[in-house]
Amino acid sequence: MEKFKTVKIQNQVWMAENLNLATYRNGDPVLHAENADQWKDYGIEGKGCWCYYKYKESNGRKYGKLYNWYAVHDPRLLAPAGFRIPSDVEFKLLVDNLGGCNDARKKLLSSNGFAALNGGWCDWEGMMSEDSINFWSATIDPESDTAAFALGIYKKNLEFGFDYVVGGYYVRCIEGQENSDENTSILFSE
C-alpha cells in the first residue's frame, strides 16, 4: 500500500501533498492528456483524465497531477484506499479550523502544514493559468451537472465556488471511507 504524507488539522487528516496517481483504485488507468487538444477532447467526451501542469512531467514531481472532475467522480474511485475526495462541507470545516478565510489562506500555503503549492490550473480548453491553486471536492452543483464545488487559493484571498467539470484542478484527499451521496451534496452558506 502506497504511503502518503498527511497532516492532522483538528479532527481531519488530510493529504499534505497533491494526488499524483495515474490509476483508479481498481487499477484501471486514468487517461493522460499529453497536450491541450487531448485535454479538451477528453472533457468534451466526458472522460476522466489528468495532465501535468503545463504538460511537463517535471511539474508532476513537484505539484502532482491536475484532474478533470470526471476523473474525480468516476465510480472506480480516484482516491486511494483509506482516503476519500472531501465534500464541500469538509473543505469549509478545514477553512474554519484554520481561522476562517483570511487566516486559512496563509496556513494552507505553509510548508509545514497543508503545504499547498502554486502549480496553477487548467481550463476546459487545456490552457494553463497561474493565478490560483484549485482543489476539487466531491460535491456537484445541485443546479447543474456541469459544475462542481472547488476551493481556490489566490494571491490575496481564498474562495469557494462551483466551476466547470472540464477544468483541471488538484485533488487533496481526506482520510476515511467514501462519502455517501447524501454527504457530498450538502452545501454550506457563507
Quick check: 23 pLDDT over 90?
yes
pLDDT value for 180: 46
Q: Other C-beta atoms within 10 Å of 178: how many?
A: 13
Q: In whole angstroms, what is the distance from residue 24 CA to residue 186 CA?
A: 25
- Structure confidence at residue 86 as a pLDDT band (50, 70, 90): very high
Let me know if residue 174 belongs to a domain. Answer: yes
pLDDT band at 183 (very low <50, low <70, confident <90, very high): very low
Task: Please state, in angstroms and rounded to a whole number, the distance separating the CA atoms of residues 153 and 53.
Answer: 16
pLDDT at 27: 97
- Give the separation between CA 87 and CA 138, rounded to whole angstroms: 5
Does 112 map to a domain? yes
Q: What percent of the chain has pLDDT over 70?
A: 93
pLDDT at 75: 96
Contacts of 188 (CB under 8 A, 6+ apart): 88, 89, 92, 160
Q: How many CB atoms lie within 10 A of CB 46?
A: 10
- The predicted structure's pLDDT at residue 2: 76
Residue ranges making up the domain that contains 148: 6-184
Q: Provide the pLDDT for residue 145.
A: 73
Residue 144: per-residue pLDDT:
81
Please check whether residue 99 lies inside any domain of the structure.
yes
Q: Report the pLDDT averaged over residues 162-166.
A: 88
Average pLDDT estimate for 122-149: 90
Average pLDDT of span 85-105: 94
Would you state the pLDDT for residue 189? 31
Please tell me the total count of domains within the chain: 1
- Nearest residue to 70 via CA among 50, 90, 53: 50
pLDDT score for 143? 83
Residue 189 belongs to a domain: no
Element at 142 (helix H, strand E): none
